Amino acid sequence: MTNPYEILGVRRDATDEQVKAAYRRRAKATHPDSGGDQEAFSRVQKAYELLLDPVRRKVFDDTGYDVELADPIDLQALIVIEKLVNQLTLDEREPGTFDPLARMRSDLSEEMRKARFSKRELERHASRIEHHLERLEKRPATDILGSMLRARIKAISTAIGETEAKIKANERACEMLYDYTYEVDVQEGEEGLAVEDQSAPALRGKRDDRPLWVVPTAQEG
């Protein structure tokens, strides 16, 4: 996520006047007519527009994201999390009686498993069709069959790209949820289990010890 405060070089509590002054300085330095870079100038403009919009600025301050400046993968991950939140709001179980984070992580893990399996299957289909195409020797001038096979390979390639994007979005969603924990009420008869879990902190791996898309188990949080 691009940080508008860093782009303009202002503090998070900067006033509108300070934002405008910083914009004038950065715009002058990055404007193409002054030898600057068009992409950098565009980022300065977008950061300026965000910070002068009180609604967008508050959303960014609260979440760290903005539609105009966010990476596409981040936006897809937010959509994934939004679906999980929708499921949570429809769950009528009492808060504290279950771990919604464990459910979210489990759902993400399952979605990634399905997507990776689907990608492998698509790749195998594409490989088989390519081999069929290679074995077509003598062909008529109007190569209808070859054209259809090539179109099928292209369609499968598009599907593979979409599946890869889905995997990346779920991996990014896992990263966004990684540092959250949820307090579950200990039910009668489960106190011993809770004590046992607390006595084994080694089960919780450090964040940097594994890829971000390796979803923690319910025990690990």
**78-88: per-residue pLDDT in tens?**
889 999 999 99
One domain, residues 116 and 200: yes
- For 101-153, write each residue's pLDDT tens digit: 999 999 999 999 999 999 999 999 999 999 999 999 888 989 999 999 999 99
Of 70, 97, 113, which closes a domain? Answer: 70
Q: Which of these ranges, 3-17, 57-71, 84-98, has the smallest mean pLDDT? A: 57-71
One domain, residues 92 and 60: no
164 and 127 in a single domain? The answer is yes
* pLDDT > 70 in the chain, percent: 84
Residue 77 placed within a domain: no
In a domain, 220, yes or no: no
CA-CA-CA-CA torsion for 24, 29, 30, 34, nearest 10 degrees? 110
- Same domain? 58 vs 135: no
At residue 73 the predicted structure's pLDDT band, cuts being 50, 70 and 90, is confident
Distance from CA of residue 64 to its chain's centroid? 13
52, 96: one domain? no
Alpha carbon 195 to its chain's center: 35
| Dihedral, CA of residue 3, residue 5, residue 8 and residue 10, to nearest 10 | -160
User: Which CATH number do you get for residue 60?
Assistant: 1.10.287.110
Average pLDDT, the chain: 84
Q: Tell whether 10 and 95 lie within a shared domain.
A: no
Could you report the per-residue pLDDT of 29-41, keeping only the tens digit for each? 998 888 888 888 9
Instruction: Confirm whether 83 is domain-assigned.
Output: no
Number of Cβ within a 10 Å radius of residue 89: 8
Which has more confidence, 203 or 18?
Answer: 18
Q: Based on the structure, what is the number of domains in the chain? A: 2
| pLDDT bracket for residue 189 (50, 70, 90) | low
* Domain assignment of residue 38, given as a range: 4-70
Q: Does a structural domain hold residue 195?
A: yes
Considering the domain architecture, whether residues 57 and 119 belong to the same structural domain is answered as: no
pLDDT at 62: 84
> Same structural domain for residues 108 and 29?
no
Residues 124 and 169 in one domain: yes
Q: Look at residue 18 in the predicted model and tell me its pLDDT.
A: 95
pLDDT at position 137 is: 86
Tokens of 7: 């782009």
Give the global pTM.
Answer: 0.64
pLDDT at residue number 1:
55
What is the rounded CA–CA span in Å between residue 214 and residue 209? 10
Q: Domain check: are 26 and 125 in the same one?
A: no
